[in-house]
Amino acid sequence: MHGAEVPHFPDTVEAKRALRRRLLQARRDRSPASLALDGEAISVHVATLPQVRAGACVAAYVSAGTEPSTDRTLEALRERGVRVLLPVLLADDDLDWAAYAGPTAWRTGRRGLREPDAPALGTHAVAEADLVLVPGLAVSDSGHRLGRGGGSYDRALARVAPDVVTAVVLHPDEVGLPVPVEPHDRPVDAAVTRDGVTWLD
């Protein structure tokens, strides 16, 4: 699904940093109200994915800052009988996972992030997922995702079977951008925005 040629960037790391700065600046202009509305639309589109069914397992994440809100998506999945796993950031920036138990079952984790108030299941729990939703700042037409630079989700995606659908949640204007690629970067299959699901090559 990701057979497209990886583009060549003479200074990939710096190119990523420059793109991150530009995208983060653009995100600062988005209002909390628009982020919440985007999150409502995204929850509807996520529900259309065939992997979302009662008894399935979805690894997702808790949105923060100017990311499209995932709050409604998490609750909608739980209401449908889907088991939802959420990340717990470890000291080495790897991701442990814990089950989502509802909109009040939170604790504050590293870097002030919301984490599920539930027992940790281990870094390999993500391998149980039928669908993995990940954050990002942009994605290319070939599925190469630009993250925040910590490598947390590239490590997590490396533990997921090749037939598991992976999707990045973004704003519409962040899809289809030329993203610099490093050898450790893991591509995703789709992008979900307020406008719908875009399948990537």
pLDDT in tens, 50-71: 999 989 999 999 999 999 999 9
- In this structure, are residues 57 and 160 in contact, taking their beta carbons and an 8 Å threshold? no
Task: Identify the helix (H) or strand (E) that includes residue 19.
Answer: helix 12-27
Task: Indicate the Cα dihedral angle 111, 155, 183, 170, nearest 10°.
Answer: -60
Instruction: State the pLDDT at residue 12.
Output: 85
Instruction: State the pLDDT at residue 193.
Output: 98
- In this structure, are residues 94 and 151 in contact, taking their beta carbons and an 8 Å threshold? no
Instruction: State the pLDDT at residue 3.
Output: 46
Residues of the chain with pLDDT below 70 are: 1-10
Instruction: State the pLDDT at residue 11.
Output: 84
Instruction: State the pLDDT at residue 10.
Output: 56
Instruction: State the pLDDT at residue 113.
Output: 83
Instruction: State the pLDDT at residue 6.
Output: 45
Question: CA-to-CA distance for 38 and 79, rounded, in angstroms?
Answer: 19
Instruction: State the pLDDT at residue 33.
Output: 92
Q: Does pTM surpass 0.85? A: yes
Instruction: State the pLDDT at residue 13.
Output: 86
